[in-house]
Structure 1
Amino acid sequence: MSLGQTKVFMALSKRLSWDVKNMEVASDNLSRADLSGAKQKRLKPFTFQKALNTELARTNPQHLGPQHGGVTEMLSTKDKKQDVTITGNNISAHHEMMEFNNSNTKVYETTSLQKKFVQMYRNWMTLTK
């Protein structure tokens, strides 16, 4: 079994792509914070439980595949907790900066976990030879 086929590594990769996408959404929200009528975008929360329930691989490209679109389907509606400002938007620059920073921290944590997992996998491979 290769490293990329392990469920833990795949889940960490999905988490990493979710965090990067969340940083993109937060920066997009931040860039539109001063526009009138701008609506806040959010990603649906990431869960490792859902990420570990992976689909079976297709052996033939003509077989039916999954109907979902990956990270792009994670977009959800606006955050209804935010108040609408005088300009008519509900985007808080402070909140978006915190969201961006939180995602940046999660990217660092996830890459650290991936590095540790790769080290453990290499050790396991050398012991089993």
Structure 2
Amino acid sequence: MTISDLSLFQTLKSKMHWHQTRQGVLAENVANADTPGYQGKDLESFSFETALKTRTTGLETTRTSARHLQASMVRESGSAKADAADGYEITPDANTVVLEEQMMKVTENQMDYQTVASLYTKGLGLIRTALSRGG
């Protein structure tokens, strides 16, 4: 079992994957901003609680103390799906994409991705530091 197999890191990986998928959906919206009748799409919000519940567990470890963390090998079992987004504005040709909204969502998505990637990197660094000082 590697460090990155811990459920915390697997969940952070899932969150980063969700952001990558959302970036693609938002890019598609921007690309179709002038397409008549195009309905803008977005992903359902990512939920850490749901992500943890949808995982399948493999090898389980035994806790010998209540203070120990429970670790398990996990695999992703779901994928993100794009749904039609509710648009606030609709053009005369029935297009629901507003470029300003999409660009704000792209920026927010990028900032959130960078935050999750930073948490992942710092978490791995903390564990490596703890393991290197213990030996």
**Fold match by TM threshold 0.5:** yes
Q: TM-score when scaled to structure 1?
A: 0.81
The runs of at least 4 aligned residues of structure 1 exceeding 3 Å deviation read: none
What residue in structure 1 maps to residue 90 of structure 2? 84
**Unaligned stretches of 5+ residues in structure 1:** 59-65
Which structure's residues are more often helix, by fraction?
1
> How many residues matched?
118
Query: Is the 8 Å Cα contact of residues 89 and 96 (structure 2) preserved in structure 1?
Result: yes
What residue in structure 1 maps to residue 113 of structure 2? 107
Instruction: Write the distance in 2 (CA, Å) between the matches of 1:100 and 1:36.
Output: 22
- Measured on the aligned residues, the alpha-carbon RMSD in Å equals 2.0
Query: Is the 8 Å Cα contact of residues 15 and 110 (structure 1) preserved in structure 2?
Result: yes
The CA deviation at 1:11 is 0.8
Query: Is the 8 Å Cα contact of residues 32 and 38 (structure 1) preserved in structure 2?
Result: yes
Which structure's residues are more often strand, by fraction?
2
Secondary structure, counterpart of 2:56 in structure 1 = coil
Q: TM-score when scaled to structure 2?
A: 0.78
Alignment of 1:31-110 (within 5 A): 31-53=31-53, 54-57=55-58, 70-71=78-79, 74-110=80-116
Query: Is the 8 Å Cα contact of residues 40 and 78 (structure 1) preserved in structure 2?
Result: yes
The CA deviation at 1:128 is 4.1
Instruction: Write the distance in 1 (CA, Å) between the matches of 2:9 and 2:124.
Output: 9
What residue in structure 2 maps to residue 62 of structure 1? none
